[in-house]
Amino acid sequence: MNKQQNILIIGAGLCGSLLALRLAQRGYNVSIYEKRPDLRKVKMSAGRSINLAFSNRGNKGIKLVELEEKIKALCIPMKGRMIHDAHGNTFQSNYSGKSHEFINSISRRDLNVLLLDEAEKHENVNIYFNKKCKSVNFEKTTALFKDYSTQTEFVEDADVIIATDGAGSAMRKSYYLEKKFLFSFSQNYLSHGYKELSILPKTPGEYQLEKNALHIWPRGDFMLIALPNLDGSFTVTLFLSYHDGKYNFNNLAEENDVLEFFQNEFPDALAIMPNLLGDFFKNPTSPLGTIKCTPWHYKGNTLLMGDAAHAIVPFYGQGMNASFEDVVELDNILDKNLSTWEEVFQTYEHQRKQDTDAIADLAVDNFHEMKDHVANPIFQEKRKLEMAFEQHFPDAYASKYALVTFNENMGYHEAMLKGRAQDKAILNLLNDGVIAYPNTVNLKTLKPILEKVKTETNAILDDNRIAGLNY
């Protein structure tokens, strides 16, 4: 584990480039191989600046490499959800009752460029583009690449290989296909896919919707969302079933079908999307999948990180944040000065796996919650109550969403257990008439309600613990 060791990273996406930067700061010799061209040298068309939700856990990784100030310039704060109903009415629902708790829209490309630029400032970092990893020999710690420029194949040797090559990871495929050890693996698709669309600026830089919000058009079985970009555009994503319901990706085959669908369901969005049909038929429909696996590492030779180890669906906005937190967690373990990479990787997986499993499950839960509970009055009353708790007792209450998104020092697994227990407590106390949203909302009226919620939450956690349940 001396600092002159050569670390080969497969994939120069967000996780790989942050990891490379951090390992370079720690003194390792880092080579990154990326199958795509250098995105700093490739033009992207207008309205195609895909963005992501960047929040507290992601920021831990950014702080680690001391880029907090530079990132801020790329971020558009989103204080809450702007809900658009079927008649075009809107109302805002903040992410938290605490004003300093919000999430950010950030361009995947801008963030990746920054991380690559910063990594390349280190002379112990080399980045190679257009080199696609085809397989990894995890016993010899070598990787086979195809050079897209020359159409030749070559093998690279390293002391350690870390694959951050995303949900379709080539190294994970080698783990799976080689059958040299017992590899637990799952890929689980939702019934729904997604398609990216866009709302362009009215004039350059002029937003057609409220800039500082994540816009949602929830319709139960499907929904549209929009996140702002720095250029005044919004990236819009349609989540829709492949096969089921009156409208689905399979039967939206003709231009008129798509127009009718948007006219009926999203009229206010359609009015500012003259480019809808072009986007709809040009852009692919992509699946929504969860990937889990174990072990992530083979001895001390190779390690999967980021989406390569745990791809999740986007309904908590935590994909990139979880990957950045991976880098922070690995870095913490490197601080322990363990004597072998095998110990590092084992410790890392042992500590991290339950958290990435939890955020994967939470994200799928949220897909169902958004579909099923959007019209459920008891869920809406719960949300109102939680917002009031967060406003009036900022230090004493955090909702499941806030535990996951804003309480970055609590692991996802603990956030899941506590968040689920709180939800269950509030829903049942409301249902049983033990509590209700007060007519007058103030510290005095809320306090006894919060106490009941806390007592019930703890009782639920105790009951589960005694029964040996861990979910």
Tell me which residues touch a copy of itself (CB under 8 A): 182-189, 242, 287, 289, 292, 368-369, 372-373, 378, 423-424, 427-428, 431, 463-464, 466-469, 471
Could you tell me the smallest distance in angstroms from the CB atom of residue 376 to a copy of itself?
A: 8
Output the CA torsion 303→308→312→317 (10° steps): 90
Residues counted in the chain:
471
Least gap, CB of 135 to a copy of itself (angstroms): 16
Residue 198, SS3 per DSSP: strand
- Distance set, CA 14 to CA 112, 154, 238 (Å): 6, 25, 24
The maximal CA–CA distance of the chain, rounded, in angstroms, is 72
CB of 145 to a copy of itself, least distance (A): 23
Task: For a copy of itself, give the closer residue by CB, 86 or 177.
Answer: 177
For the CB of residue 195, give the shortest distance to a copy of itself in the complex, in Å: 15
Q: Give the span between the Cα atoms of 440 and 144, in whole angstroms.
A: 67
Q: Least distance from C-beta 185 to a copy of itself, angstroms?
A: 6
Name the residue nearer to a copy of itself (CB basis): 93 or 428. 428
- Nearer Cβ to a copy of itself, position 260 or 463? 463
3 HSE (CA, 13 A, CB side) = 9
CB of 159 to a copy of itself, least distance (A): 24
The phi and psi torsions of 249 (rounded to 5 degrees) equal -60, -30
48 or 383: CB nearest a copy of itself: 383
Judged by beta carbon, residue 120 or residue 342, the one nearer a copy of itself is 342
Helical H runs in 65-104?
A: 68-72
Spell out where 325-444 has E strands: none
Sheet holding 125-128, edge to edge: 125-128, 29-33, 6-10, 160-163, 302-304, 297-298
- Minimum distance of a copy of itself from residue 427's CB (angstroms): 5
Nearer to a copy of itself, 73 or 467 (CB): 467
Q: Please give the torsion angle defined by the CA atoms of residues 363, 57, 421 and 289, in that order, rounded to the nearest 10 degrees.
A: 10
Collapsing DSSP states into helix, strand and coil, what is residue 427? helix
Residue 91 or 189: the one with the smaller Cβ distance to a copy of itself is 189
